[in-house]
Amino acid sequence: MRAVLTWAALLAVIAALAGCNDKKSPISGPLTIADFKDKAAAAVTTGSDLDGKPGFGPSVDVTSPTSLSTFSQSVQASYAEYRKNPGNVDAVLRNFVDDVQARMARGNKGVNFADARAHIFPILKPKASFSRVTDDPATTTFPGDLRVAYVVQRADSFILVSRDDLGRWHKSVGQVNELAQANLLEETNKEQPLRCEMKLCGWASGDGYDASRFIVPQLRAQIVKKIGPAVYAVPRESVYVALPVKYASRIRDKVERDFVTGTNPVSRDLFVERDGQVVVLK
């Protein structure tokens, strides 16, 4: 009887294993585009020096530890290729990674100035932010140990303007700086007008250009028109505030805290404008 029971138990185990295999078989079938996107993002991170994360819709968001450029890469073409031959998924993912690496390396090469000019914007960053950047960005110095760099901003990409780009476009840093400020001024007046409450004015739109608006003289003039001579602060990328100069001491501690604890810090300094020039308030 024990032998019969043992054999029956063995048959039951085999049947259970077979059942488990049957249940798992659908998972081993073709990947959904969401599953493929996850695999593509992981392949970018493990198969290159770049970082990939699943993005919005059928895309992978790509960043680099040695550049400020970012972009989203669609997986739709790669997924269609994979569906033709699911067993070839590894090769398809390798090609996707190669395409991503080539796009990051390409930057703005192949983009002419006429196509880029309406999309060039300034970004204000601490000097230390550029210590790891290897793509030789075009920059302008700014008070408080800050730097202004320039990007070509499109719906799916944020590509740093390099000195090589300026050479191909036959433009100086000064010309691109003037154009970038004009583009940001137009975009701000259209989409993100100045907001004031009591004596506090500024921008906190979260569009990535709030601190950068500080460099635009016309936007500072809008503030002065509202509150008179002002003290300015840009503790982090998403905050640009101003108060009448006499209230400078009231915001110094708050600015310091935002700079130390916030994401994407820019400056712990307070600034004022003297004779049309921005200077650090000592």
In angstroms, what CA-CA distances link 50 with 42, 46, 100, 105, 125?
10, 8, 9, 11, 22
DSSP designation for 211? G
Phi-psi region of 71 (alpha: psi -120 to 50; beta: other; left: phi over 0): beta
* Cβ pair 89, 110 in contact under 8 A: no
Q: What is the pTM of this model?
A: 0.86
Residues forming a β-bridge with 54? 60
Q: CA 47 from chain center: how many Å?
A: 21
C-alpha to C-alpha distance for 261 and 172, rounded to whole angstroms: 36
C-alpha to C-alpha distance for 97 and 39, rounded to whole angstroms: 11
Long-range contacts of 97-104 (CB under 8 A, 24+ apart): 97/43, 97/44, 97/47, 97/48, 99/73, 100/44, 100/48, 100/50, 100/52, 100/60, 100/62, 100/73, 101/48, 101/50, 103/62, 103/71, 103/73, 104/50, 104/62, 104/64, 104/67, 104/69, 104/71
Residue 105 confidence (pLDDT):
96
Q: Which two tokens stand for residue 228?
A: 């008179």
Domain ranges in the chain?
Answer: 1-29, 31-106, 113-186, 194-280
* Cβ pair 234, 240 in contact under 8 A: yes
Contacts of residue 59, defined as CB under 8 A and 6 or more positions apart, other chains included, come to 37, 72, 73, 74, 75, 156
The sign of the dihedral angle between the CA atoms of 104, 110, 111, 113 is positive
Residue 13 confidence (pLDDT):
39
At residue 107, φ and ψ (nearest 5 deg) are: 55, -125
Contacts of residue 179, defined as CB under 8 A and 6 or more positions apart, other chains included, come to 117, 120
What tens-digit pLDDT sequence spans the chain (282 residues)? 333 334 444 344 334 444 444 444 344 579 999 999 999 999 999 999 999 999 999 999 999 999 999 999 999 999 999 999 999 999 999 999 999 999 999 999 999 999 999 999 999 999 999 999 998 999 999 999 999 999 999 999 999 999 999 999 999 999 999 999 999 999 999 999 999 998 999 999 999 999 999 999 999 999 999 999 999 999 999 999 999 999 999 999 999 999 999 999 999 999 999 988 999 998
C-alpha to C-alpha distance for 39 and 62, rounded to whole angstroms: 14
Residue 276 confidence (pLDDT):
85
Place of tokens 């138990």: 9
DSSP designation for 244? E
Axis crossing angle, helix 217-227 with helix 173-191, rounded to the nearest 10: 40
